[in-house]
Structure 1
């Protein structure tokens, strides 16, 4: 907890040597000078207290650009302005994500971006395949489909800035991020507003 101006004035007053050259009367020039210096110390102390919040990217504001520089953000998939919360979430995601190539990893990644998706894998048709299954060539084993709603809406958060939009929508970011992070040997397809049976 930061010390107050009065706390610093008392400390400076106590540190001064006794004598007539440094008067103790509140209206003296010396005491007014100590009061002014106490204000400067109090401001520095209060600012140091805010650095505790800035050290955590989840609460950073002033140092958020530095966090973004360290994590190579903004993401190349981001177009237009981002909300303060989206910027913070991006930094936290880069710092905490371990990567992966599984369904849960990509579903979790999409959820962090604000998308609710399902993932469909494919198998190549073989002699033992069910006759009701579509006939797919061997290359289909590397394909997978991300199924998402036709429109995903991101709403205004309680701690968003006053100049931020009440809602935004679109799926371009989902496609960009997943395509960039998908395993290099795979082919990712995107389908919107469809169920798993293509309806």
Structure 2
């Protein structure tokens, strides 16, 4: 604050009535004004950080509003870091339909996944494999760690949890980009009993 007070005092006219000594009226007024100028300067400097979606905090709701976020499917209280990652993912998304595209999208959100595609049973298929009908042509199994833990890092927004885990944001983003007829099966921790999600419900046993 002293730097701002000194700067204000240097802007005052010169003369006997404009004393810069501590206790003078000019000095007292400068001490009152200095905190406001300091606060405004700090907030202006913060715009350099807040203007970028990857680090935005105060302007994050503006970015989200532009992109149709927050998405209710992502959970009621996603962390600042998850929200930032989701904004960046949507801004940088160029679209795609390959496995490489979806795994890269998940990576940008902080998740390492693998995707397995299936085919219906047909003559000549390897003996001993999964037997299923035509619905398997649209089935994906998305394998992800059972717990994707995001630890707090220096510089993260104040007031957030020290660690978070969950995959609601991942499910939200892939679900909205998957082809309309795709049947998504989520396999966490390699348990082999994925939960089926999509625009309609389909029991896993119906596919086998």
**Residue 197 (structure 2) aligns with:** none
Task: Please give the per-residue CA displacement for 1:43-86, whole angstroms capped at 9, x wherever unaligned.
Answer: 21122111211112222222222222222211232123211211
SS of residue in 1 equivalent to 2:16:
coil
Q: Runs of 5+ in structure 2 lacking a partner? A: 194-208
Counterparts of 1:123-134 in structure 2, within 5 Å, are: 123=119, 129=124, 132=127
Aligned residues of 1:84 and 1:161 also touching (Cα < 8 A): no
TM-score using structure 1 length: 0.74
Aligned residues: 187
Return the alpha-carbon distance in structure 1 between the equivalents of residues 148 and 108 of structure 2: 13
**Residue 50 (structure 2) aligns with:** 54
Aligned residues of 2:112 and 2:144 also touching (Cα < 8 A): yes
Task: Please give the per-residue CA displacement for 1:64-120, whole angstroms capped at 9, x wherever unaligned.
Answer: 222222222112321232112111111111111112111111112233444433223
Counterparts of 1:154-193 in structure 2, within 5 Å, are: 154-158=149-153, 159=156, 162=159, 164=161, 166-169=163-166, 173-184=169-180, 186-192=181-187, 193=190
Answer yes or no: is 1:65 the counterpart of 2:61: yes
Return the alpha-carbon distance in structure 2 between the equivalents of residues 74 and 153 of structure 1: 20
Q: Say which of 58, 63, 78 aligns to 1:82.
A: 78
Q: Say which of 33, 38, 55 aligns to 2:34.
A: 38
SS of residue in 1 equivalent to 2:149:
strand
- CA RMSD of superposed structures (Å): 3.1
Task: Please give the per-residue CA displacement for 1:149-174, whole angstroms capped at 9, x wherever unaligned.
Answer: 573343433347555274434x5554
Answer yes or no: is 1:22 the counterpart of 2:28: no
Return the alpha-carbon distance in structure 2 between the equivalents of residues 61 and 173 of structure 1: 18
Which has the higher Rg, Structure 1 or Structure 2?
1
**Residue 7 (structure 1) aligns with:** 3
